[in-house]
């Protein structure tokens, strides 16, 4: 798992198998949670389509306020998240961003 950011009690990450998907996306994992849709993942958020910025929630178990906060952070840091995803998929070490929003 490639951790991109920590937002309060959520981890935004990508998985190595995601490199083969047709759209880039971020998995939201709740730290310490054992009850969720897929393991600890509580949301999957598309961040682009055909290389252009397009943020859509694929599925989510997040509370509306948490989802809105995470979408806002992804939107405001979209270019940086894309660069970090490139780096993760090419095997480069990244610095995990931390947000206290």
Task: Report the domain count for the chain.
Answer: 1
Separation of first and last alpha carbons in the chain = 23
DSSP notation for the chain: -EEEEEETTEEEEE-GGGGGSSS-EEEEEETT---SSBTTEEEEEEEEETTEEEEEEEEE-S-HHHHHHHHHHHHHTHHHHHHHHHHHHTT---PPEEE--
Q: Is the pTM of this model over 0.85?
A: yes
Residue 11: inside a domain, yes or no? yes
pLDDT in 10s for each residue of the chain, 101 residues: 689 999 999 999 998 788 888 899 999 998 876 554 455 789 999 999 998 999 999 999 999 999 999 999 999 999 999 999 999 999 999 999 999 86
Question: What does the pLDDT read at residue 39?
Answer: 59
- Residues 6 or more apart whose CB falls under 8 angstroms from that of 73 comprise 5, 7, 99, 101
Residue 101: inside a domain, yes or no? no
Domain range for 31 is 2-92
Question: What does the pLDDT read at residue 2?
Answer: 85
């Amino acid at each position: 798992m490639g951790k991109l950011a920590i937002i309060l009690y959520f981890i935004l990450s990508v998985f190595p198998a995601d490199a083969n998907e047709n759209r880039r996306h971020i998995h939201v994992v709740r730290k310490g949670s054992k009850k969720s849709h897929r393991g600890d993942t509580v949301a999957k958020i598309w961040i682009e389509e055909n290389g252009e910025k397009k943020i859509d929630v694929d599925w989510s178990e997040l509370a509306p306020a948490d989802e809105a906060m995470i979408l806002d952070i992804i939107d405001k840091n979209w270019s940086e998240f894309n660069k970090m995803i490139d780096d993760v998929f090419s095997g480069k070490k990244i610095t995990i961003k931390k947000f206290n929003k």
